[in-house]
Structure 1
Amino acid sequence: MNSIRPLFLFVAVATLTPGGATMLATASGGRFGFARSIPLMLGIALALASLAAVAALGLGRLLLAMPILRTTVRALGSAYLLWLASRIARSGPPNAGDGPARPVTLVGAFLLLWLNPKSWAMTVGAAASFALLASSPNRLALLLGTAFGLAACISLALWCALGILLARLLYTPLHWRILNLAMGALLAASIIPTWR
């Protein structure tokens, strides 16, 4: 077996860089706090782990081979992210009652990530790049699923903590408005690379 350090570096960079999931974790942390954001973070981490495992087993190739399926997943994921982005952008301070009343659920976060073309591309790319690290597709699925799941937990916790920190620095409704507009815009912008 070859060294797994390159895999860990790839997974760390892939999960720590800003994107839709990290923006959701940041916004949720700022609005709902860490404990109430755990289902969102856990749903994303479980989905990413399962996507990586599925990609390692070869099922991700089906998605990449069928343009209509790929376009459907991309459209559904984009629509859901845009809806979430608009809800975040239009909300005010947590106590204003004009934003989401509760955080994204574990199931909602799981489905969101499964509809995210960026996640599919990232996990299928990892499965292809690191296939020689394991002696069978099942072992590769276990390795990639574990690596992506753990890295996502750490990354999302850090981004959620950033949201909490930002929330402590915001004192006025205008500050919250600016943050929510920025989080909504960044979440919407994270869709653009999936359509290239």
Structure 2
Amino acid sequence: MLDTLGPLALFTLVAAISPGGATTLATASGLQYGLARSFPMIFGIAFGMASLAAAAAGGLASLVLASPALHLGLKIVGTAYLLWLAFAIARKGRPPQNTQLANPVSFWGGMGLLWLNPKGWAMTMGAAASFSTLIPNPVNLASWLGAAFGLSAIVSLTLWCSTGVVMARLLKSETQWKVLNIFLGSLLAASVIPIWLF
């Protein structure tokens, strides 16, 4: 089992830490709200990734891929949600001094981001297919894959969010804030391109 868990942990960590919509959102959240206020979003994305990985191992991904209409619907809704978040990030400036007025993405918003993100589906489906030969029992595969993706997401998103916190300390002017937020919003918008290549 240890021979399987090492590669599984490495795969999920690399998949979770690679730049994409969730990592960009975590960086922007750290920039705007700090690490502590971003934890609900981080745990929501991690739970979304863990539950999606478990569902993919249990066969849900096959159902989505077998239905072109459902797959297209997922892409459309996921794209719309990511573009809406990208626009919201891009139009932000310096965070308000009274941070209680600002609302970071919630646990449910983070979970929804993952469940509507075809990159998340592709990662978890690939992992389920790759590791099904090493862990042939679907229940065990779902458990291990869900746990590995969930923990990897927490580690990855905490690092990306902390990067945003550090960047916030370096920004001095309103123009710098606007430029960085436009850049992060543009990155998030660009993350929809691979969605349509699958």
TM-score of the aligned structures, taking structure 2 as reference length: 0.94
Aligned length: 194
Q: Which runs of 5+ in 2 are unaligned?
A: none
Q: Could you tell me whether the CA contact under 8 Å between 1:81 and 1:187 is conserved in 2?
A: yes
Where in structure 2 are the equivalents of 1:138-177 lying within 5 Å?
138-177=139-178
Alignment-derived partner of residue 122 in structure 1: 123
Q: Identity over the aligned pairs, expressed in percent?
A: 55
User: How far 1:121 moved relative to its partner?
Assistant: 1.0
Where in structure 2 are the equivalents of 1:185-196 lying within 5 Å?
185-196=186-197
Q: Distance in 1 between matches of 2:128 and 2:136?
A: 13
User: How far 1:18 moved relative to its partner?
Assistant: 0.5
Q: Could you tell me whether the CA contact under 8 Å between 1:55 and 1:61 is conserved in 2?
A: yes
Amino acid at match of 1:145: G
Deviations 1:2-41 (A, max 9, x none): 5332222211110011100000000000100011100110
Q: Could you tell me whether the CA contact under 8 Å between 2:135 and 2:141 is conserved in 1?
A: yes
Q: Distance in 2 between matches of 1:106 and 1:179?
A: 25
Cα RMSD of the aligned pairs, angstroms, is: 1.4
Q: Distance in 2 between matches of 1:19 and 1:188?
A: 10
Work out whether 1:90 is the aligned partner of 2:88: no
Q: Could you tell me whether the CA contact under 8 Å between 2:33 and 2:104 is conserved in 1?
A: yes
Q: Could you tell me whether the CA contact under 8 Å between 2:25 and 2:188 is conserved in 1?
A: yes
User: How far 1:66 moved relative to its partner?
Assistant: 0.8
Q: Could you tell me whether the CA contact under 8 Å between 2:96 and 2:102 is conserved in 1?
A: no
Q: Distance in 1 between matches of 2:7 and 2:35?
A: 31
Q: Could you tell me whether the CA contact under 8 Å between 1:4 and 1:133 is conserved in 2?
A: no
Q: Which runs of 5+ in 1 are unaligned?
A: none
10-19 vs 88-97, which deviates more? Answer: 88-97
3-state secondary structure, aligned to 1:133: coil
Amino acid at match of 1:117: P
User: How far 1:60 moved relative to its partner?
Assistant: 1.1
Q: Distance in 2 between matches of 1:17 and 1:109?
A: 17
Amino acid at match of 1:157: T
Q: Could you tell me whether the CA contact under 8 Å between 1:31 and 1:93 is conserved in 2?
A: yes
User: How far 1:96 moved relative to its partner?
Assistant: 7.5
Alignment-derived partner of residue 82 in structure 2: 81
Q: Distance in 2 between matches of 1:129 and 1:135?
A: 11
Amino acid at match of 2:129: A
